[in-house]
Amino acid sequence: MREAVSPAGLVRAWAVALLGSAGANELLRSALWELLAVPETFLPLTRPAVLLWTTVGVTGAAVAFALVARWTQSPAGTYRRLAAVALLVSWVPDALLPGSPRFPEATWQLAAGLAVLHVPPALLSVLLFPRWGLRTV
């Protein structure tokens, strides 16, 4: 017996991961605005930007999960390893923000704050996609 993608389960996992991540990231974003005194001109920490990139991240994670499940013998374990690497890689653009001419107001604190916003989508995707997005065939 092997595991295959459960389309309905993956859609349910995607929806729950997206809603949970969006909620968690809005709470974190609001806290960051208060704690770090985010400049109004720093667009990456605005509500629309955080919601957009949260949606892109969770959707990309769901597509990656479906591909991993389709092409590997051990989809859950393979996906978890891939997700860990993807989380680390996702922090690279944040680390490049301080000193960027496009965002001169970016500081290391703001970059770290942005990096924290990658964690809820990663955690929920890793927890939910293998649990709900697979079926035994």
Question: Hey, is 113 helix, strand or coil?
Answer: helix
Q: Which residue has the tokens 């930007």?
A: 49
By percentage, how much of the chain surpasses pLDDT 90?
Answer: 98
The tens digit of pLDDT for each residue in 35-64 reads 999 999 999 999 999 999 999 999 999 999
Largest Cα span, the chain: 55
Considering the entire predicted model, what is its pTM? 0.95
Report which secondary-structure segment, H or E, holds 134: strand 134-136
Q: Which has more confidence, 9 or 2? A: 9
Residue 79 contacts residue 69 (beta carbons within 8 Å): yes
Give residue limits of the domains in the chain: 3-136
Query: pLDDT tens across 6-31, in order?
Result: 999 999 999 999 999 999 999 999 99
